[in-house]
Amino acid sequence: MEFVSIDVTDGVAVLRLDRPKMNAISVQVQSDLREAAAELTERDDVRAVVVWGGERVFAAGNDVKEMADMTYSDMVKVSASVSSATTAIARIPKPVVAAVNGYALGGGCELALAADLRFAAEDAVFGQPEVLLGIIPGAGGTQRLSRLVGTSRAKDIIFTGRFVKADEALRIGMVDRVVPAGKVLEESVAWAAQFRGAAALAVRAAKECIDRGSEVDLDTGLEIERQQFAGVFATEDRTRGITSFVEDGPGKATFVGR
Give residue limits of the domains in the chain.
4-193, 200-248
Over its length of 258 residues, how does the chain's per-residue pLDDT go in tens digits?
899 999 999 999 999 999 999 999 999 999 999 999 999 999 999 999 999 999 999 999 888 888 888 888 888 877 777 889 999 999 999 999 999 999 999 999 999 999 999 999 999 999 999 999 999 999 999 999 999 999 999 999 999 999 999 999 999 999 999 999 999 999 999 999 999 999 999 999 999 999 999 999 999 999 999 999 999 999 999 999 999 999 888 888 899 989
Cβ atoms of 13 and 22 within 8 Å: the answer is no
Alpha carbon distance 80, 120 (integer Å): 28
Alpha carbon 146 to chain centroid distance? 15
- Residue 37 has φ and ψ, to the nearest 5°, of -60, -40
Residue 193, CA distances (Å) to 95, 102, 187 in order: 10, 24, 10
Helix (H) or strand (E) run with residue 51 in it: strand 48-52
Alpha carbon distance 188, 161 (integer Å): 28
Domain 4-193 is classified in which CATH homologous superfamily?
2-enoyl-CoA Hydratase; Chain A, domain 1 (3.90.226.10)
Q: Which CATH class is domain 200-248?
A: mainly alpha
Maximal CA-CA distance, the chain: 67
Helix (H) or strand (E) run with residue 98 in it: strand 96-100
Q: pTM for the full model?
A: 0.93
